[in-house]
Amino acid sequence: MEHREENYGKKGSKEIIHVVYWCIIVLTVVIAAGIGFGVGAAESEYLAALKVIWDNAVPITVSIVCSVLASIIYAYIMNRISKAENNEFKNEIKRELELVIDEIYDKKIADGTGKIVQEISEVYKNTADLIPFRSYKSSNKPNNEFNAYLNSKISDSHRFVYFGASATFTCYRLHELKRQMPDKVNLDIEIYIADPSNKEIFNNSEKFIWVKEQNRDPASKRDMQTIIREEKKNILACLSALEEMAGDFNDINVYMVSHLPFINIEMTDDMIVLEFFRTRENYRRYPLSIIYEGKKTLYEGYEFYLEWEREKAKHIKKSELTPEYIKKLGKDAGLGVLTDKQLKEYRNKRIYD
């Protein structure tokens, strides 16, 4: 995929400004030359100058108006062209991202850092810009080195994005970050998680949910309905924790998506973490967290993907994230009438402990 650094809209705007400047310069030179010639040829310099200016007033005005109109038309055309090119570029990135996910999962990559990085490189045709900055092998919970790295990146950023199934560990991470920084944290948080009230999500993803359960406990004997209820409680626990921490962060926006993500995405101001932790069928362990830093093309591509997710998601603003809203969501999810005490138990058991 071609790496494009330029911003088409900004580039087009600069070209338009340059055209207007040149029009004004040329008109000024022509007018000055005409006036100078007329003044030099006249017997009375003062009266001749006034006469030349008066005689040229109409054509000068018409010329300026025509130049401005031409610039506006040119700007409109260039803006349309830049939008078309930008949309085409975004669609190209989206196709590449879908290709990566399909290739990674369909080939059922075996565990191992080198194997997965090699496969990703092959999908992207060894594009140097998309080689990972670093990678970490993972288990049920990310290792300490990865945690320290990600916590540091979040602390230095103004924005943190999480996209995944339930976000329980991410909510724990934010809780620990807040505990270490008692003052209000200047951080905008975006959380993308599954909508617990959407029954089709869970009914259509039983195989995937069972894989998650096996990752958690290979000897598990829990039935599917119990597992699904626990998944929904995890989501509510995270929402309840975010509600409790809302006053400690600059802003929080939650987007409830209508599917269970097969990949975790975490983003700060200049970094992306991709956790390729499950395949569609025979996955055994959490294999790898792949990190990109400063990869403009990839970053913009995932920004576009999240924008696409936002358009379809159920948006919960910071001001709307209340205990009443969460309890209603729990009722819609089939968990019955929840109390404040139950929400607190969810937080303590699934997030804080």
Task: Look at residue 51 in the predicted model and tell me its pLDDT.
Answer: 57
* Model pLDDT for residues 232-286, shown as the tens digit of each residue: 999 999 999 999 999 999 999 999 998 877 778 899 998 998 876 544 444 444 4
Note the pLDDT tens digit of each residue in 208-225: 788 777 767 778 889 999
Residues 312-322 pLDDT 10s: 899 999 999 99
- In the block, residue with structure tokens 């669609």: 91
Domain 107-352: CATH superfamily is: Endonuclease Chain A (3.30.870.10)
Between these two residues, 6 and 246, which has the higher pLDDT value? Answer: 246
Is 100's pLDDT higher than 50? yes
pLDDT at 317: 96
Residue 167 confidence (pLDDT): 84
Rounded to two decimals, what is the model's pTM? 0.64
Q: Please report the pLDDT score of residue 225 as a whole number.
A: 92
- Locate the domains of the chain by residue range: 8-84, 107-352
pLDDT tens digits for 108-151? 444 454 555 555 556 555 455 566 777 776 554 556 788 888 89
pLDDT at 337 over 70: yes
User: Which pLDDT score is estimated for 282?
Assistant: 42
Q: Which residues, other chains included, contact 68 with Cβ-Cβ below 8 Å and sequence gap of 6+? A: 20
218-222, 250-254, 287-291, 293-297: least confident range: 287-291
Which has the higher per-residue pLDDT, 277 or 347?
Answer: 347
